[in-house]
Amino acid sequence: MLKFYSASARVVNTRRAVMECMEIALGNDYQDTDLLIMHASIGHDFQEMVNQAHEMAPHARIVAASCCGVVGREGVSESMKDMALMAIKGKEFAVSAVDQINGKNSYEKCLEIANDLKAQQPGINMVYFLGSGIDIANDLCIQAFEEVLGEHVTIFGATSSDNMKGVISYQAVDQHVYEHAAYAVGFSDPSLTIDTQATHGFVAIGEPLVVTKAEGHIIKEFNGKPAWEEYTRRLGLTTAATCGDTIPIGALGEKLSPELAVEYGNGHLLRVVTKRDGNDMYYATTIAEGTPLWLTTRDEELIFTEMDRIVKEMNDRHSGKKPVAVFHADCLARGRFLFNRIIKDELVSKMQYPFYSDGSCPPWLGMYGFGEFARLGGKNAYHNYTTALYVIYR
């Protein structure tokens, strides 16, 4: 039976940060840990991080990813030196990873991971997936997992990020650190179930940009014009802008069906652009020619009211039953005044407090990444610019 423990810290020294997290989460009983899932801001040395974790828990599998801030039981932190972990004891899981994943081979790489997970551990009913946040076709990742493990298996997790620049992100598996890798943890504890839900709070504006030329996950033209040129023009930027310049203001919205819009609390599913090559824009999923995409703007009131709604709905679905652990993926481009930590604390407290038991937050591992996986319309889906909650019950 799997047991979960979590901690987060803001410590400049990477090894000391690992030690503090391990000691907060597990006390002195950390050597027999079976799995460590770690998130750290881009200011930490990832090789030092996994080496220290391995030293303290020599028999544990270790997976880690870079992010631009963490959320733990202790609250939210968005410095360059944040770290958080979820420590797990128990054997009902499998770990698999691949290197050099990208938008053109996402399906094949995730097929490899899924087959490896299935061979290691029968009865997998949920998969925590973390891929590179730059140049990846996340819909093809979902497709591969579902073909091997079944559509009933819930995929949750995120894509790694840097400090919202779209330059580089890191993933680590055991004692190896990568830049374009993906890993997955398949959980097979039959006593566990998971519930997932995501919300953003952005509103579509103006006339859409229509994709007039695309190849897989790469948009080449909008409205018959070079994609980056037309996209930045509509944002009021020059073509010299970077992805980091567009991420906070350039969310692109795909229109949802009326039925999905009701569930989502929004008429559009958002996408982020984290890489470009000249005028070619690397989308987060494959994209069909003829697709209209709307620019969007943040609705601060909607962000908060929708957060209240999804937390209430999740609690109602489980009749107030309290979780044994919560995983959480979030986007920095949310919350009042975007980067105001005081208001981020408010948003995080609104999502955490309803899950408290006897005055305590359950083990909680959250990160600010480039994208989030959560179900929509009863199906696995990939999102951007959302808060996505993954609540595990026993």
What residue ranges of the chain have pLDDT lower than 70? 334-343
3-state DSSP call for residue 368?
Answer: strand
Q: Packing angle between helix 106-120 and helix 138-149, nearest 10 degrees?
A: 30
Backbone angles phi, psi at 228, to 5 degrees: -65, -35
What is the distance, to the nearest Å, from the Cα of residue 75 to the centroid of all Cα atoms in its chain? Answer: 17
- pLDDT value for 339: 47
Reported as type and span, the H/E element at residue 55 is helix 46-56
Both tokens assigned to 47: 């090789």
**CA–CA gap between residue 10 and residue 340 (Å, rounded):** 17
**CA–CA gap between residue 276 and residue 284 (Å, rounded):** 12
- pLDDT value for 337: 44
Using DSSP bridges, classify how beta strands 61-67 and 35-41 pair: parallel, antiparallel or unpaired.
Answer: parallel
- pLDDT value for 272: 94
- pLDDT value for 1: 94
Both tokens assigned to 102: 């990208």
Q: Do the beta carbons of residue 86 and residue 363 sit within 8 Å?
A: yes
**CA–CA gap between residue 337 and residue 25 (Å, rounded):** 32
Q: Do the beta carbons of residue 93 and residue 22 sit within 8 Å?
A: no
Closest CA to 325 of 200, 197, 198, 195: 195
Q: Do the beta carbons of residue 186 and residue 93 sit within 8 Å?
A: yes
- pLDDT value for 333: 72
- pLDDT value for 165: 86
At a CB cut-off of 8 Å and minimum separation 6, what does 374 contact? 156, 196, 197, 198, 381, 383, 386, 388, 389, 390
**Residue 9: C-alpha distances to residues 41, 74, 299 (Å):** 11, 8, 31
pTM to 2 decimals? Answer: 0.95
- pLDDT value for 140: 98
- pLDDT value for 300: 83
- pLDDT value for 344: 77
